[in-house]
Amino acid sequence: MSKIGFIGLGRMGKSMALNLCRKGFDLIVFDLNVSATNDLKEAGALVSPSVKDIATECDIVVTMLPSSKEVEFVALGANGIFANAKAGTVLLDMSTIDPASTLRLHEIALSHGQTVVDAPVGRLAIHADRGESLFMVGASDTDFPRVEPLLRAMGTTIYHCGPVGAGGKTKLVNNFMAISLCQMNGEALALSQKFGLDITTTLSVLYGTSATNGQLRLNFPNKVLVNDLTPGFTIDLAHKDLSLVLASAHANSVPMPLAASVYEFFSQARAAKFGHYDFTGITDVICNLSNIEKPRVPEGWKVEN
């Protein structure tokens, strides 16, 4: 079996790497967080001392990193992936980064006889824990079959969205909607609270009409509405993704006034030191600013199907 490198063991990456170990992949990992690498070592992975060592030993190198800056750092340079990996190596980048950066990296990879696949992750951290992630893949028809077994070990749903870059572009469309829905839901629930309405009745009405959405039905009842603000996806990361959405929209002359408005409110939330909250916590930010009681459902309340 080919050796697989995995760089980036954050909240999502660690769970994804653990799923690869559980499915029997020969995995070598690298992260600056010693605790995360120790957990992977206990699961059977080898821990590499450097990106360079991973690049020289692996046929596919997975990156799951916060932004374009970190992906470019590990890919480029004398100690990076491209300079040290053999011809035919695939960089499988699962980060959410600027699609233009993905295309630049792919061009550089080709000059080394290597290729890039972008496969950003859909769904939440809890889905990554269970191996139920969704992947949006940008890959050549040659590379897609090479990475598909890894994706199936980490998730349940895979979409080949097109050539390199198409996965990241699809992710930006998805995250624009998911983040904007969080903002809309937060404003709606704050207004409901100000009106003095019963939260469970309000939710039941919203779930029974076309106003319902996946964030309100699937995410909110498991996070902010039960007072759990531990991040599955932080306000900081949502803000970063919206900046990518707007940059790409500007580059393609697409007006996105809603994205701009949501971006600025998330900027305000970060300035108020709420960036570490789960992004459903934007609801609490709105309530804090308005002196409104935060919406919380009673213990044991469940969403009715």
Enumerate the active-site residues: 171
Report d(CA 33, CA 280) in Å as an integer.
26
Q: Mind giving me the DSSP string for 177-219?
A: HHHHHHHHHHHHHHHHHHHT--HHHHHHHHHTSTT--HIIIII
Q: Mind giving me the DSSP string for 216-273?
A: IIIIGGGTGGGT--S-SSBHHHHHHHHHHHHHHHHHTT---HHHHHHHHHHHHHHHTT
CB 283 within 8 A of CB 186: yes
What share of residues in the chain are helix, strand, coil (percent, to 5)? 55, 15, 30
Secondary structure letter of residue 141 according to DSSP: T
